[in-house]
Structure 1
């Protein structure tokens, strides 16, 4: 079995859903997928990392304010 422990993702590279699952489980990141909530339904399906961001804005339901979160975020799409 291949080593699935990834320490980072690279834009333009394909990863299996299983590899992405392992990455998310061990890293404090956000993954945005073009196929909604089906990202982890097929472990061998491949996804390409199309964008990488150092952070993002988030709206707080508690106080109605918008906050910038400095947290790695990636966009992946089905290959």
Structure 2
């Protein structure tokens, strides 16, 4: 089966861990997974994109400031 490079993820759609791995390797995004560090442990496991965000707030431990990161983020969960 040929590999298709993903340009975006869509909420409500399922993707394999292998597809998500390829996506984050070629795209400047953040993935937040409900199964924590196990996201890429099983390449054929399927995940559903629950929600996407245009950005997020990040706290700097160096200066105590909070910054809005204009970076796409996706929440994914095991199917």
TM-score normalized with structure 1 length: 0.97
Could you say which residue in structure 1 is the equivalent of 2:38? Answer: 38
Structure 1: gaps of 5 or more residues: none
Task: For residue 4 of structure 1, report the CA deviation from its aligned partner.
Answer: 3.6
Aligned residues: CA RMSD = 0.7
TM-score normalized with structure 2 length: 0.97
Does the 8 Å CA contact 1:4/1:22 hold for their aligned counterparts? no
Aligned residues: 79
Structure 2: gaps of 5 or more residues: none
